[in-house]
Structure 1
């Protein structure tokens, strides 16, 4: 499964290749409440078919009507990009279904050979982050290496947007917890790779859309070189496997590195990584352990939800101080170590 931006770009290029007129629509700025954030993409072809979204649906309906009734050339005169705003007036906000006071600014771009969508798609496939500059006068596009994320910047002359590779989740260990995590991550458009060199773990472990690696964890991490769109979670409870992954992951650009285990075993793991493998305190402080947010999880599915929530929070830039990690949540429990009504038959401790 591809992320939505890639789906929009790929579909827009396919329509263009098939000879259809196509508009690529980008949300550049919003004021007040808005259904979709800056950077959201949508493509519309000359038949009024749409992929992606820039609002709750009403703005899409208006753009589809204009493309069908007037044609792409009329919407973007002389094949040049155009800028539109919706929701400036209270009447427009009501008409287009925007929240009270919301305003959305869009750039509409006719797709052409100089849009360079195939090159942008290839950069995403090769996990290269790209800055795309659209000249508002000519429609010409320039692609340069750029940061992985960023809010679009609109000037009088150009629109600057940022594209990065799909987010990736590397799981060490093929078990029930990995299966639930994989399913959740796939639903959130992550690329998922499960690593487990133990042959006995491979029997019956198959999940569509997930890559299963039999490499040693350190070999996999060194080969993949986790970038700033990669999360790594160690799930085996076996230091011989988990530690191998963590040593290199904590020295990579990965935006999240976590490992399951009790608070005691988490402390022992930090000691091992410091004393035997020479990791610095700053690197150890980046380790999320026990992995996950505290939700009183008991079953593998609930533990997976806890971990995935923390991964998404890290991906979205939520500060760790604004969340409740598992270790802090458990430390706050009353005597006995469980919340009132919590079943003590814990399937897997984290």
Structure 2
């Protein structure tokens, strides 16, 4: 599963290679409410085919309609603004009078899309700089803290996995977790020193590593854009890795297991000189309560919680696995709940 941005770039490369005219559309600024964030991309081919999204659909419809009526005629990048007036906001489906500004760039072999994809295949974080006056493109390395920048002359967009996820354990749940996380634009690494688990385990775009998890945690030098999820149920593999992860700047550290096992794990980690303050950053039982039963549902539950933490959203106690299960059991045994 590719991320949306990767699908957009791959479509552009295919259209360019077959000689079709196409444009890359990038959200560069929004005011008020907007369905898509800055940096969101859309690609449109001269036959009206569209991949990606820059709005809830109405702006896409306008772009498609213009291409079908007039073809792709731009030869240089252009900045276009939608929704300046209330009538336009209503016409283009922008909520609450929102306004969105787009950079529309005609693509060619000189646009560097093929080279950009090659770098992304190597898990590089890339800054793509577009000269808005000439259409010239240059590619260079980017740091994890960089974001989209636009001036009167240059548009700089950042491409590649700006977030990292280390999954400890190559099991069935790990497979679903990795597949979804790749689609969310994470650089996913799965670590499992057990050959019997690694054999035959493969997800496109995911690196599988044979190493002791705690060694890999140290080697990765986890930063504030890194997450660690332990799924082996084996304290020999999980605990030391969790210890090192909790001492790092990782924004999310979680481990699968029941309430009882989670309590025991916390006791063991305290014996490893993990501080009480560090231990408060351990998520477990892991995930957001959605009544999940199957591996795929559990993966969604875990990533929902991880996404909330990444976005700075405080979860209600009722949404946490431990509290929700206790509440459900109490409701099931409470006579007052019977009809």
TM-score by length of 1: 0.76
Per the TM alignment, residue 3 of structure 1 is displaced from its structure 2 partner at its CA by: 0.9
287-296 or 27-36: bigger deviation = 287-296
Q: Which among 78, 93, 105 is matched to residue 109 of structure 1?
A: 105
| Alignment partners' CA distance in 2, 1:63 and 1:301 | 37
Is the alpha carbon distance of 1:301 and 1:282 closer, same or farther for their aligned partners in structure 2, counting shifts above 3 Å?
same
Report if the CA contact (8 A) 1:170-1:232 is conserved. yes
Structure 2 unaligned blocks of 5 or more: 334-339
Which runs of structure 2 are paired with 1:308-319 in the superposition (5 Å)?
308-315=303-310, 317-319=311-313
Is the alpha carbon distance of 1:160 and 1:174 closer, same or farther for their aligned partners in structure 2, counting shifts above 3 Å?
closer
DSSP-derived class of the 1:338 partner = helix
**In the alignment, what sits opposite 1:57?**
57
**In the alignment, what sits opposite 1:141?**
137
| Alignment partners' CA distance in 2, 1:186 and 1:131 | 20
**In the alignment, what sits opposite 1:246?**
242
Is the alpha carbon distance of 1:242 and 1:282 closer, same or farther for their aligned partners in structure 2, counting shifts above 3 Å?
same
Cα-Cα RMSD:
3.7
Report if the CA contact (8 A) 1:114-1:139 is conserved. no
Per the TM alignment, residue 199 of structure 1 is displaced from its structure 2 partner at its CA by: 5.5
49-58 or 282-291: bigger deviation = 282-291
**CA deviation vs aligned residue, 1:16-64 (integer Å, no higher than 9, x gap):** 2333322111011222333322211011233332221112333223223
Per the TM alignment, residue 310 of structure 1 is displaced from its structure 2 partner at its CA by: 0.8
| Alignment partners' CA distance in 1, 2:103 and 2:213 | 45
DSSP-derived class of the 1:120 partner = helix
**In the alignment, what sits opposite 2:332?**
341
DSSP-derived class of the 1:340 partner = helix
Structure 1 unaligned blocks of 5 or more: 343-350
TM-score by length of 2: 0.79
Q: Which among 265, 278, 285 is matched to residue 290 of structure 1?
A: 285
DSSP-derived class of the 1:314 partner = helix
**In the alignment, what sits opposite 1:30?**
30
Is the alpha carbon distance of 1:82 and 1:258 closer, same or farther for their aligned partners in structure 2, counting shifts above 3 Å?
same
